[in-house]
Amino acid sequence: MAEKNNVIYLDNAASTQPFPEVVECMNEINEFIYGNSSSVHFKGIEAHRIIKDSTDVLADFLNCSPEEVIFTSGGSESNNTAVKGLGFAVMGRGGNMVTSAFEHPTVLNAVKSMGDFGFEIRICGLNEEGCVCSDDLIGKIDSNTRLVSIMAVNSETGAKADLGEMSDSVKGKNNKTVFHTDAVQAFGKYKLDMNELKNIDMLSASSHKIKGPKGVGLLYIRKGLNIKPLLDGGGHQGGRRSGTENTAGIAGFAAAAGIYKKNQIEFMKKARELNEYLRQKLLDNTYDIRINSPREGSPYILNAAFRGIMSETLLNHLSGLNICVSAGSACSSKKKSDSHVLSAMKVPGDYIGGAVRISFEPYSQKEDLDTLVKEIKAVLPILRRFGKR
């Protein structure tokens, strides 16, 4: 199977193409380092060493100790482990969990499902920039709040939470509350220093959003915090997540993270340029457009809505031209309902159905953005003419 020619892939918030170095490193491990990292023979030790080195790289990235990192099958599992693992650990005491309308469905639904286990669920709203309302959040916290989970960078709009300030105020109100953040869209792209972010207790990250492989992610759990494992078994990873470790995946994850760490500033600059460029170009070349991404948000994501069209039709059209973008976030784009984040942001009704998410990676090309805008500009009048009557 080979890649089609002339693919313009601008759906990097959904998933990315792995770095060639990542693919190479994984191929080698899949072929030769096939031992089980828990085995005591030399093949096991080989695998164990690779996992240890990879853990060091990722822990170094988070400026935490390697024991504070567990590997999972990806962002969804990390989020579920954080929310449910904490919930099951403190279930006897009851209480409430607080999250926001800003969250990815993995957190939102994991928290909601804890309602069945006796927790009261509190969901705070967003302001018009699409960020969590701090006052609303703090107002919802009381002496019985067990968990607060707030996303670092929103996957639909790129809006960014001020995690430091937010976690500080949460702990200021109740220092026993556990603060979790879903950092799937932030990890690798932003500096996340767990030594500085002292009030963040858990953090989820995913490999395939930063040009690593799919099927692997991590959960940072601050030393001293005990959560119940979701997967019991042979006691891998200190009993916190059983199951034979995905050696190649973990090594690929670390390799990708290593590249991001080395180039973090440069990558960020590049993403900013791309974002600024596309933002301006769209505004210059189309009309009745609304940019939903705040300027201060993650430059890797640009959410734009066109009045009076259905984003799905635009996506189908672009896909026919080998251009990949998505509507809202990929996980929700097969559903018919409007984006819960954009609704919470009060995006007007005739715009919300026409929202498109364009997301970059450090090697996205400006010429590709030109092509994208050219094609959108060409088709918009047609799509609008044949809109709903």
Min dist. Cβ of residue 290 to other proteins (A)? 21
Tokens of 68: 């504070």
Strands (E), the chain: 8-9, 69-72, 96-100, 120-124, 145-149, 178-182, 202-206, 217-221, 289-291, 301-306, 323-324, 355-359
Select from 80-88, 159-167, 267-275, 307-315 the region that touches other proteins (CB under 8 A): 307-315
| 331 catalytically annotated | yes
C-alpha span between 258 and 260 (Å, rounded): 5
Please state the closest distance from residue 60 (CB atom) to other proteins, in A.
42
Q: Residue 324 in contact with residue 9, Cβ under 8 Å?
A: yes
Binds other proteins by CB under 8 A, chosen from 134, 264, 286, 313:
313
Asked if 319 interacts with other proteins (CB under 8 A), we say yes
Element (H, E) at 82: helix 75-90
Contact flag: residue 389 with other proteins (CB under 8 A): yes
What is the crossing angle of helices 366-385 and 264-285, to 10°? Answer: 30
Q: Which of 27/316 has CB closer to other proteins?
A: 316
Nearer to other proteins, 123 or 379 (CB): 379
Q: Which two tokens stand for residue 80?
A: 């579920």
Pick the closest to residue 223 from 62, 49, 54 (CA basis): 62
CB of 288 to other proteins, least distance (A): 18
* Cα 153 to Cα 203: distance, rounded to the nearest angstrom: 12
Q: Does 134 bind other proteins (CB under 8 A)?
A: no
C-alpha–C-alpha distance, residues 389 and 383, integer Å: 12
- Confirm or reject binding of residue 336 to other proteins (CB under 8 A): yes
Determine, following the binding rule CB under 8 A, whether residue 322 of this chain makes contact with other proteins. no
Q: Is 323 in the site for other proteins (CB under 8 A)?
A: no
- Binding status of residue 27 toward other proteins by CB under 8 A: no
Q: Quick check: 4 binds other proteins (CB under 8 A)?
A: no
Return the number of the residue (6 or 316) whose C-beta is nearest other proteins.
316
Residues annotated catalytic, as ranges: 331
Residues that bind other proteins (CB under 8 A): 310, 312-320, 334, 336, 385-389
